[in-house]
Amino acid sequence: MQGPLSLDADLICLMLVHNEAHLLPDLFAHYRAMGSVQYVVIDDRSTDTTRAIVQDQPDVTLFEPLDGSTYARDKRDWRGSLLDALASGKWCVVIDADERLVWRGYPERTLSDLIATMEAQGAQALIATMLDMYADTSIADHVSHDAPLAKTFPCYDDPQRDPLAYRAALTPKRFRQKFPLPNSVLMGGMRDRLFDASGHRHSYLTRLLQSKVLTRPRHVPDAALLGAALVTRLTRPRGDKPPLNLTKVPLVKWRTGLRYNGGAHHLSANLPLAHEAGVLLHFPVTRGLEGIAYLANRGQHASGGGYYRSILESGALSDVNPVYAGTSTLTDIAQLEPFFGKAAP
């Protein structure tokens, strides 16, 4: 452990990083603007300047994985054990380096305001959509520079322009028994549209049925489980790879013994949920084909790197501009209202 860890911090931001030096200046600028946060960073053996950048931050405590542990196998324990030790009873933002959390009213409505609303509701967790952000250029040319990521990659698949851009399904019953919150996954967006993440092209009817189950990530109430289960069964992907899960729980009041299912997608306990949802602006391609090839060869993400290999193997798709008729350019957080759900009472 290195850095100025303060056990008195009210809010902790935990992230795992690996060779993501190009993302860190924008990351710290975004989250520091939210107020006073104690950062806890696990550097997974970076070989670029990531470690040096993290060590140079005055509000970051750096941890390293134990010898013999790996991201693919042990990230659940990395996150859980640190949060148990440092954050029990505290609010935690749990993110990846390529994610920027926003919510209704951001930035005028501060993170403290959001947490105060959740506290008043008795809520202990916020669900959010991972919203793939991209640029009006080929995937091969998706390379970040010094500008803020949201300005370099301002485009997203807009459900107001394309009502079938997103779809949802229940998680499998056995999975729900271990990780019950939330009990659904949201799918779709740019990567799914371009690279067919599930390995199966969905018919119009399938997409229509799925989009009617959920239009944003949420926890399906017991009264609606039967209908959601039926639609999930009728429209289950038949490909050889699971669909990408766009649902995450990035803001949680931690309690000892909680665990994520690996990534911060689902939790091992049914915590009271905020009435509204958030959005994680997600920047999945920021180093062009070189970055995709690195993730594919590293084999630590998305089906052992198989998803990223499928992008590379798609060949000409790397030269395709991801903009389509359902694309919008993000200029105001209010545009994301369809993802935020019910406002606080």
Nearest one of 49, 46, 42 to 66, comparing CA atoms: 42
Greater model confidence, 332 or 171: 332
Question: In Å, what is the CA distance from 70 to each residue of 247, 260, 262, 281?
Answer: 23, 16, 12, 26
Q: What is the DSSP letter of 143?
A: B
pLDDT tens per residue across span 36-59? 888 999 999 999 999 999 999 989
pTM here is: 0.89
Domain boundaries, position 257 = 109-339
Q: Is 159 inside any structural domain? A: yes
Q: Is 7 inside any structural domain? A: no
Q: Is 307 inside any structural domain? A: yes
Q: Is 212 inside any structural domain? A: yes
Q: Is 211 inside any structural domain? A: yes
CB distance 246 to 129 below 8 Å: yes
pLDDT tens per residue across span 151-176? 999 999 999 999 888 888 888 889 99
Average of pLDDT values for 131-149? 93
Greater model confidence, 82 or 223: 82
Average of pLDDT values for 212-219? 57
Question: In Å, what is the CA distance from 18 to each residue of 46, 83, 331?
Answer: 5, 19, 30
* 3-class DSSP state of 331: coil
pLDDT band at 312 (very low <50, low <70, confident <90, very high): low
Which residues touch 135 (CB under 8 Å, ≥6 apart)?
A: 141, 142, 152, 153, 154, 155
Q: Is 75 inside any structural domain? A: no
Which residues touch 8 (CB under 8 Å, ≥6 apart)?
A: none
Q: At 302, which helix (H) or strand (E)?
A: none
The answer to whether the bond into 25 is cis (omega within 30° of 0) is: no
Mean pLDDT of the chain: 85
In 151-172, which positions are buried (b, 16+ CB within 10 angstroms) versus exposed (e)? ebbbbbbbbeebeebbbbbbbe
Q: Is 54 inside any structural domain? A: no
Which residues touch 321 (CB under 8 Å, ≥6 apart)?
A: 136, 137, 138
Sign of CA dihedral 261, 60, 97, 341: positive
Question: In Å, what is the CA distance from 154 to each residue of 20, 213, 264, 311?
Answer: 20, 28, 24, 21
Q: Is 44 inside any structural domain? A: no
Per the structure, the count of domains in the chain is 1
Residue with tokens 């603007």: 33
pLDDT tens per residue across span 245-272? 999 999 999 999 999 998 899 999 999 9
Cα(10)–Cα(233) distance, integer angstroms: 43
